[in-house]
Amino acid sequence: MDIRKFVLTTVLSVHIVMRSEERYLKDYDASRFASPIVTVDNVLFSLDNNELSVLLVKRANHPYQGTWGLPGGFIDMTLDESTRDTALRKLVEKTGVIPPWLEQLETFSGKYRDPRGWSLTTAWFALIARTDCQPHIESVSDAKWLPTHQLTQQTLAFDHGEIITHALNRLRQKTRYSLLPVYCLAEEFTLTQLQEATEIILGQAIQRKSLIRRFEASGMFEDTGKSKATGARKARLYRRKEGVDIHLFSRNLLNDTAE
């Protein structure tokens, strides 16, 4: 960007109208000012078949009609109290359930990212266990899971490919200093499942011992008392404690791998 034009920009002289705020608000017409197109999009990740996938929906409307894109849409100002509500509403429409992890990713904006004109989308990043949403998704014909390693082959609407890449980086980074991948697992899970989830996301093996140390130090989990057979010795089943926040560690895993 050429920033010199900004340096030369002078402060606009402000026409101060002297009237009460009350009266000002009464007369205020939100449609007076040209406004960008505002949407909300979700990057929902899930694990299955040793793959990390992202949920896509086929666009029913223009622009990019028929192209795959992220599940999202316009804010419903009567239903939604914030863009978080919009994100949740759209996710529930497509998956039938509330994802156990939802955080704001980043807002993408620009003159050229939407053919209709200047646009802005607040992107959210979510995790879910595949089994918790698979039945609902299979009932909808216009939704599919895209394995992230096929991202480059798939043409996507708008800048959704770029948004997914940002979300992937965030997921990988957070996996190095938290146990975020548990939110991709079923309610009750084994340490081996958590290890596999972590390894799929990071794309490389980790030390089980390091995972166990963190698991215990986090204080986030409790033993269900149950165990699960997987062909050999039975593995203990854990669950997340009620109302416990995610624990952030002060060191990263895999700190040899350059950032």
Partner DNA sequence: ATAATAGTGTCTCTGAGACAGTATGAC
Partner DNA sequence: GTCATACTGTCTCAGAGACACTATTAT
Which spans of this chain sit near DNA (rule: CB under 7 A)? 190-192, 206-210, 212-214, 217, 227, 229-236, 249-256
Distances (CA, A) of 111 to 5, 37, 45, 119: 17, 10, 28, 6
Residue 26 interacting with a copy of itself (CB under 8 A): no
Beta-sheet pairing, 37-48 with 119-127: parallel
When CB distances are held under 5 to 8 angstroms depending on the partner's kind, the choice from DNA, a copy of itself, none that residue 93 binds is a copy of itself
Residue number with CB closer to a copy of itself (81 or 242): 81
237 three-state secondary structure: strand
Cβ-proximal residues to 253 (8 Å cutoff; 6+ apart), any chain: 175, 176, 177, 202, 206, 210
Residue number with CB closer to DNA (49 or 78): 49
- Bridge partners (DSSP) of residue 126 are 44, 102
When CB distances are held under 5 to 8 angstroms depending on the partner's kind, the choice from a copy of itself, DNA, none that residue 161 binds is none
Closest separation in Å from C-beta 259 to DNA: 12
Whether 129 contacts 55, CB under 8 Å = no
- How big is the CA angle at 99 (ends 96 and 102), to the nearest 5 degrees? 135
Residue number with CB closer to DNA (107 or 192): 192
When CB distances are held under 5 to 8 angstroms depending on the partner's kind, the choice from a copy of itself, DNA, none that residue 229 binds is DNA
**Single residue of 74, 149, 150, 222 touching a copy of itself by CB under 8 A:** 74
The alpha carbon dihedral of 153, 159, 165, 171 has a sign of: negative
When CB distances are held under 5 to 8 angstroms depending on the partner's kind, the choice from a copy of itself, DNA, none that residue 32 binds is none
36 three-state secondary structure: coil
Residue 107 interacting with a copy of itself (CB under 8 A): yes
2 alpha-carbon distance from chain centroid: 32
Residue 109 interacting with a copy of itself (CB under 8 A): yes
**Single residue of 100, 134, 140, 161 touching a copy of itself by CB under 8 A:** 140
Distances (CA, A) of 80 to 15, 25, 86: 34, 22, 6
Residue 31 interacting with a copy of itself (CB under 8 A): yes
Q: Which residues bind a copy of itself (CB under 8 A)?
A: 1, 3, 5-7, 9-11, 14, 16-17, 19, 21, 24-25, 28, 30-31, 33-38, 60-65, 74-75, 77, 79-85, 88-89, 92-93, 96-98, 104, 106-107, 109-112, 115-118, 120, 122, 140, 247-248, 250-252, 255, 259
